[in-house]
Chain A
């Protein structure tokens, strides 16, 4: 088994020998064991080994990088030479830099090896449970993997970080069927440190399985109205992705981010607090080192509705003159509110419970539109029926300001912890 530190060191040495002023190298060795289920039957056991050696050099303020999946000296020496040639081709930019010196550290989380029998028996147990509890549910595809990675990040400023991480990941794609009627598919994913709990108790699996069987018969919405939407935790990704993208290097450097001058200002309802906690104990699938070579720290991005941090890399920070973020985002944790989900539903005069959103990429200004999938009509405080052929449109930035309630309940996905969020002012249209 290759030693990530030895490989990373030889990559760094090769880059410096090839003439780099500044250089960094990250070597990662990954082993994955993956069980696949289709139509409720085990179909495939997959074992993959991979290596990844990422090399970056800066010379005369010009930067180049490459990535190979070979770790022998000959391949690394050849790649290092190519990196310098790529750097020589680049446009010079004084903002190119590498992380400054930090104390060396070793990080670890999770186990070193999978329990294959336990993976098989956990999944088998779930399949049996589903047959009894949700006989109309079809597990179209279930994937459980154990991924173990060993990684080392070094640079010419003496940064030296070693990471060992093992985690189980589960992804489920499912629909429900009754004779010739089929529900929309739905999916969810979560990460686990171990396999001690029943899978049905993990993430939002049980909630979504139950909903799927209710969604075999749907009704299209008629007409158009502006109403409330309760966004489920599984449906929060689009909103989080919009926030993350708008605060990141690209829109901030180009000056097109709608939040470019909003640091310290209210951009969301005071109920909304968003953290990025990649090194928190409550997150089993986080990360320890940023891609530019800093030990990751937890941060609060939006606190009581106030923008506290951008998500700028070292390069983005130097280009904009703003602070570098202490992490790369992700591992999102949204603080719970003080309203129960039941109470939230009761407060809706007319709106929908949005369980999946299938829409076009949002515009840079936050405008979005798409189909409300696996969703329900709420009228006079009651869930009426599952809907189909219904679209919603709004603006993410406005939506953050129009938050009416956040649930006490949250779902723990292992890589994020999210509540239900009620927002107003969304255009909901049917046929």
Chain B
């Protein structure tokens, strides 16, 4: 980031964003003791985006240099002119919201060398191999992502951010009756490796717990397909907040006709449900994906989506905020230097309630306690699904047999009205990537909730 982007503001001829960015990735993986992945990569460059009466032009270049900065500003301007000459939309200017900010979440400790990272992962793998000899296979994988960005805009905004994320994924496989059964789980989150993991031993208890669940899962049964009363554990409530509601309340999705269109002010969930896309902090603590200034140069603010069951608003970039006549919320985010900002979630969470998890499970005669999600997908209709890799039957208020991998689904605005209990604790995760033209890290949070939901099975 050696270039001072503010020196190039004089080349802006209209609304312009100029961003320099570097994404750095470190990956190490052991598959059944084999060091299959051992790599580092860096992707950096500079991009400009120009707005002209409703048409956008964008250009990027992998060099971060004086020449490249001028070239991308010119090329983005030319692209906006090309599109405007064809379309002549004559839309008005964008909202002006200048802000200045610098946020650096990098570690203050000395950085570890690749060998120390490999040795850490090998020690973790050796421990699993020695402690659980009946496993058919195991995979331990380290994935570190640093996103470093610098932005200036023609509005006068300036921001610099460095946000690291470190995830260790552990997957265990067991052969039962000739067929593989697997259970994987990610650990880690915001921060550099050095701030999150001090010794492989810190993960041993978690591996033990994971192994215990895998053994139960290997004896697991197919859930009974159909609409069931379930307790969704905190990690599922987080993905529910993201998939089921979050996507339908992104203003670009609203404009394309999502089910949230026209429903602001209406009751869309149980009054026990409050759902917020937090910009950077919750209850005084930093969220997993802190965004202080978005990639359009807007100060990021919390977007309250549902309050006490009532739909309150949407997530916006500058253009959608202009369309709806509201303030932009700072949800415009880009993944790579060569990506344009899109309306994306940041840290989407259902807020905690007052119930205890034990009471919630005890209140169900016949249902399921669902613990670990995998992937998820939303729909314009608010029908959502997500994969479940760990869950247990609930029979007469007690946990029963584990279940095999399954999928749950529902229509969010119907399903959220069935919420009758919300636990008082809250967990955050940010191991996954949300996909919407570009991938991007997102934070998800929530308490456990009791609700009725469709479960796939036999």
Binding site for B on A (CB under 8 A): 38-39, 41-51, 63-70, 82, 85-91, 93, 95, 116, 120, 138, 140-141, 143, 175, 177, 180, 182-185, 224, 249-251, 253-256, 258, 315, 319, 358-365, 367, 369-371, 373, 388-389, 391-393, 427, 429, 431
The 6 closest A-B pairs by CB, nearest first: A360-B387, A369-B456, A89-B115, A254-B137, A429-B225, A67-B41
Q: Which of B417-454 contact A (CB under 8 A)?
A: 437, 454
Decide if A69 touches B42 in the complex (CB within 8 Å).
yes
Interface size class of chain B, counting residues whose CB lies under 8 Å from the partner chain? 35 or more
Q: A256 and B175 in contact (CB under 8 A), knowing A38-B256, A361-B374?
A: yes
Bound Cα distance from A293 to B44, whole angstroms: 26
Q: Could you tell me the distance in whole angstroms from the C-beta of A117 to the nearest C-beta in chain B? A: 9
Q: A43 and B118 in contact (CB under 8 A), knowing A224-B226, A361-B375, A393-B457?
A: no
Decide if B379 touches A253 in the complex (CB within 8 Å).
no
15 A-B pairs whose Cβ atoms sit less than 8 Å apart in the complex? A42-B83, A63-B35, A88-B115, A93-B34, A93-B35, A143-B437, A249-B36, A254-B173, A315-B36, A319-B34, A361-B387, A363-B404, A369-B407, A370-B407, A429-B225
Bound Cα distance from A360 to B136, whole angstroms: 23
Q: A370 and B385 in contact (CB under 8 A), knowing A50-B338, A69-B62?
A: yes
Per a CB cutoff under 8 Å, which of B36, B180, B259 touches A182? Answer: B259
Q: Could you tell me the distance in whole angstroms from the C-beta of A206 to the nearest C-beta in chain B? A: 21
Bound Cα distance from A403 to B414, whole angstroms: 36
Q: Chain B 83-126, CB within 8 Å of chain A: the 1/0 string?
A: 10011010000000000000000000000011101110010000
Q: Could you tell me the distance in whole angstroms from the C-beta of B354 to the nearest C-beta in chain A? A: 31
CB neighbours (8 Å) of A255 from chain B are 32, 136-137
Closest to A246 in B: B180
Bound Cα distance from A372 to B109, whole angstroms: 50
Per a CB cutoff under 8 Å, which of B122, B227, B379, B406 touches A360? Answer: B406
Q: Could you tell me the distance in whole angstroms from the C-beta of A119 to the nearest C-beta in chain B? A: 11
Per a CB cutoff under 8 Å, which of B34, B117, B182, B379 touches A184? Answer: B379
Closest to B43 in A: A69
Decide if B375 touches A45 in the complex (CB within 8 Å).
no
- Say whether B156 faces chain A, with CB atoms less than 8 Å apart: no
- Say whether B295 faces chain A, with CB atoms less than 8 Å apart: no
CB neighbours (8 Å) of A392 from chain B are 456
CB neighbours (8 Å) of A371 from chain B are 383, 385, 407, 409
For the A-B complex with A67-B43, A358-B385, A393-B407 known, give 13 more contacts whose Cβ atoms are closer than 8 Å.
A38-B255, A44-B56, A45-B57, A47-B79, A90-B38, A91-B122, A184-B380, A185-B380, A253-B34, A254-B173, A255-B32, A360-B406, A363-B181
Bound Cα distance from A359 to B455, whole angstroms: 11
Per a CB cutoff under 8 Å, which of A39, A47, A365 touches B180? Answer: A365
Decide if B39 touches A86 in the complex (CB within 8 Å).
yes
Q: A63 and B173 in contact (CB under 8 A), knowing A44-B83, A44-B340, A250-B31?
A: no
Q: A64 and B458 in contact (CB under 8 A), knowing A47-B59, A182-B380, A360-B387?
A: no
Decide if A224 touches B374 in the complex (CB within 8 Å).
no
Closest to A224 in B: B225
Bound Cα distance from A50 to B180, whole angstroms: 41
Decide if A360 touches B374 in the complex (CB within 8 Å).
yes
Q: Which of B111-165 contact A (CB under 8 A)?
A: 113-115, 117-119, 122, 136-137, 139
Bound Cα distance from A391 to B259, whole angstroms: 21
Closest to A388 in B: B383
Bound Cα distance from A88 to B113, whole angstroms: 11
- Say whether B211 faces chain A, with CB atoms less than 8 Å apart: no
- Say whether B14 faces chain A, with CB atoms less than 8 Å apart: no
